[in-house]
Homo-oligomer: A and B are copies of this chain.
Amino acid sequence: MLDTALATAIMKSVDAGFDAQVAMTAELVKFPSVRGAEHTAQDFMAAAMRERGLAVDRWRIDIDDIRHLPGFSPVHVSYDNAFNVVGTHRAGNAKGRSLILNGHIDVVPVGPLDMWTTPPFEPLVEGGWLYGRGGGDMKAGVIACLAALDALKRAGYRPAADLHVQSVVEEECTGNGALACLQRGYRAEAVLIPEPLWNRLIRAQVGVLWFQVHVRGIPVHVRETSAGANAIEASYGIMQALHGLEERWNARRKDYPPFDTVEHPINLNVGRIAGGDWPSSVPAWCTFDVRVAIYPGQDIAEAKREIEAVIRDAASRNRFLANHPPDIVYHGFEAEGYVLKDAEAQVETLERAHRTAFGTDLKEVATTATTDARFFGLYAATPALVYGPNADSIHGFDERVELDSVRRCTQAMALFIAEWCGLERV
């Protein structure tokens, strides 16, 4: 337990630095760090860590280093610009408990620009919110890691334990960035990931699978459409069958607490489609991308077999596809679900920090999304707390993060560091 005077000093120090923190968050939002283009934002992070006296480790992810590890997800894009950055504070006399602060630098695509009120990579502060792609998910959190350390320093302290700030890529598609940090040897006694969690703590998260369905058709001139098999329209039958699987999996939720209390834990999304080449040719191909959740403990290999059986069955009911079954390509997330456990000390510390910063009890949530927490929890026996600010429209248009929530979460993070790692005078 921190004493009240110290806690107050730390919180005030966060407030004192908050304008600079917001400015730095906005600066980071300007980097269009969509997949394949994270490197310049990572250069910015490396420089920011170096300025703060952290020892910087920046490396390109090598798939050969990680492909054999549990939690690896298949990847079909280049990692030429996929750099992780870790900044480490090494305590001279480590009295406290070590900590990893982890955040992801990658953001999802912006979609049609005309659906944004203001340009996605031109951050705008208005009405107490910061707007921009990635502001919520999760550049506010990434900067909050550094701002919490800045606040401690401003108050005259530094952590009395080793602490790693990790800025990773690939969270939105594979998690291979966080996995590469594990492979490189980073370990600690707790992990905190400030994802936009509406000031709550994740108690459980689903797993996620990505797959692509490649449907073929018989191409003919449109004057004889009945002789062809329209790959675009045939795809719809497969989507419907997959939604049937989604409902069957949702019906199993009683077997997977805490998701038994979540109304619709398993969401299946057809997120991308492309097919055909010419309006007057019956389309001979259609490819669509699917994201589907799985429960913690649900076996990935078995889930894939169920998916494949559903697609095969739907295809068998289509005259053409019966003899030309679709190809299924796994091209991203093969993420297990994760339930936070054996984490009493970590959670209690966060509960105290949250209560001090917000004046309310910390709420927990079982989220229907995944986070990088699973790597630490499942493959390194380290409880990972996912806790962060209030955001709107992540993955949507006019994404925004609430600044007062960022401020209080940063206070809570600083208090958490102070109690978990202990402090020593600068």
Contact = CB atoms under 8 A, between A and B. Distances in A.
Contacts of A332: 279
A407 interface: no
A172 interface: yes
A38 to B, nearest CB: 15
A376 B268 CA distance: 53
Interface residues of A, number: 63
A135 to B, nearest CB: 14
Copies of the chain in the assembly: 2
A290 interface: yes
B233 A395 contact: no
A108 B282 CA distance: 12
A196 to B, nearest CB: 10
A238 to B, nearest CB: 12
A220 interface: yes
Interface of A: 108-112, 115, 137, 172-173, 208, 210, 216, 218-226, 228, 230, 232-233, 236, 239, 264, 267-286, 288-291, 293, 332-333, 367-369, 393-397
A395 B115 contact: no
A172 B236 CA distance: 28
A144 B111 CA distance: 49
Contact of A280 (B172, B264, B285): B172
Given A220-B395, A222-B395, A282 B269 contact: yes
Given A279-B269, A368-B224, A219 B289 contact: no
Given A288-B232, A369-B223, A272 B283 contact: yes
Given A111-B285, A368-B224, A396-B219, A269 B280 contact: yes
